[in-house]
Structure 1
């Protein structure tokens, strides 16, 4: 398992010193320079990358303890750069970086293995997970629990578990861990637990409440909400209702942003 390094450069700008005509020296207070951040051997995954200048890449990485970060991989586009083979999606990496700006410098990337590659429909589902993370997570916002859910989802997809169930579990975890969805097992009107045989709608900003005839939001049984909380998707009704519920809630929190992979999944796999 070989470590791969990307060269990093830094520049230091000198400050101008101006002398006053009077013999009294003038002193100025300057804000101390921000300390450069150096992170070593952080577990992470490449979510997305795009070209930067002639030979480099900007890599969007989902790290375990630092959340989603942007790194410049210098020289990664060169034909013989070993980074080209390492900075691949869905591969567990050990990543190191330095810098103090929004886009830091990748200093090392090492493939650590442990996951089977995604193939066919599972690969498309993986890209859907990545697109959700890129569009819903702010940068530099740590989500270690969500990182573990992501690893679990990739592992289940690689082992041919039903994609619809894997995606529903991850979507629910994403909304919960990112703080935009709370407890769906309690009614926000009464404060009591939802009833299995009663219909509810889930307000994107507050949570479940009893459904009304005039409601245009997806109506779901209390049992569906209970099953989703328990990650139990054995019931066919739970699978169907959770699909339309999550599609509605994600659309709300994305503020109209289109998920390209979601539409492909709907067209090809009815997910």
Structure 2
């Protein structure tokens, strides 16, 4: 007599091994954005140096007696401890480190613009230590009242380079040669610069502007103007049509 399927011996159930709890200590980071979670907690999106952008639950952070209350502020360098297995980790502690010039009210919107770029252009838990250092430098320069237009252009190009989507602005994709300072180009967001044609609707920039941007030299007013239009077009492409809210606020304020 043969065994029926119900007579077959049962195989022991294979238990999935739980992933080990990740514990991170004394990680440098900044708050990019936070919002309410339940009645007294916050979900905080932080940009850390060695772990990239991480979402943390700050339990009880809204309670008056919480040690986190008042600490989780934007543009303040923090030392962060967190743990957890899921994508949403638990914030254990956060301490203000200090050592940076606070942003004045006149440049706060520029700081929020940087944060919005990081939120929209970087992936969760994708480390970018070079971009983190550039962010710290940018906040410091804004705090020291350096030209916001120059500082922002440099950061915009840096974030595209660090996330791997920026083309080499100094080389023409048409022939692989260095761009000519005297020529006029358009920049393909997925390829790079090529000589401009009459039918092009993309922003036209001089070869000199492209070389200046590569060398982080924005002293020429023409470079400042052309790079602003170029970066606006490149960011719009890589954001897939998502609007940058802080930029629109800045435009509205300038019009007023």
The TM-score range, normalised by the shorter chain, is over 0.9
Question: Which segment is superposed worse, 29-38 or 230-239?
Answer: 29-38
Out of 45, 54, 62, the position equivalent to 1:60 is 45
Out of 196, 202, 220, the position equivalent to 2:205 is 220
Alignment partner of 1:137 is 2:137: no
Unpaired segments ≥5 residues, structure 2: 1-5
Q: Superposed, which structure 2 residues align to 1:106-145 within 5 Å?
A: 106-145=91-130
Out of 72, 89, 98, the position equivalent to 1:104 is 89
Out of 42, 54, 66, the position equivalent to 1:69 is 54
What's 1:33 paired with? 18
3-state SS in 1 of match to 2:139: helix
In 2, the alpha carbon distance for the partners of 1:188 and 1:114 equals 44
Alignment partner of 1:51 is 2:36: yes
3-state SS in 1 of match to 2:107: helix
Alignment partner of 1:153 is 2:138: yes
How much does 1:26 deviate?
4.5
3-state SS in 2 of match to 1:68: strand
3-state SS in 2 of match to 1:98: strand
Q: 1:64-115: CA deviations, max 9, x gaps?
A: 0110010000000112222121100000000011011110000110110011
Q: Superposed, which structure 2 residues align to 1:83-98 within 5 Å?
A: 83-98=68-83
Structure 1's 33 and 162: CA in aligned 2 closer, same or farther, altered over 3 A? same
How much does 1:120 deviate?
2.2
What's 2:3 paired with? none
Runs of 4+ in structure 1 off by over 4 angstroms are none
Structure 1's 25 and 263: CA in aligned 2 closer, same or farther, altered over 3 A? closer
In 2, the alpha carbon distance for the partners of 1:182 and 1:256 equals 19
How much does 1:265 deviate?
1.6
In 1, the alpha carbon distance for the partners of 2:11 and 2:177 equals 69
3-state SS in 2 of match to 1:228: helix
In 2, the alpha carbon distance for the partners of 1:243 and 1:55 equals 42
Question: Which segment is superposed worse, 114-123 or 100-109?
Answer: 114-123
Alignment partner of 1:187 is 2:155: no
In 2, the alpha carbon distance for the partners of 1:165 and 1:84 equals 35
Q: 1:22-63: CA deviations, max 9, x gaps?
A: 9x7752222211111111000000000000001100000000
In 2, the alpha carbon distance for the partners of 1:135 and 1:144 equals 17
TM-score (normalizing by structure 2): 0.94
Out of 132, 148, 153, the position equivalent to 1:163 is 148
2:167–2:189 contact (8 Å) kept in structure 1: no
Structure 1's 245 and 25: CA in aligned 2 closer, same or farther, altered over 3 A? closer
Count of matched residue positions in the alignment of Structure 1 and Structure 2: 250
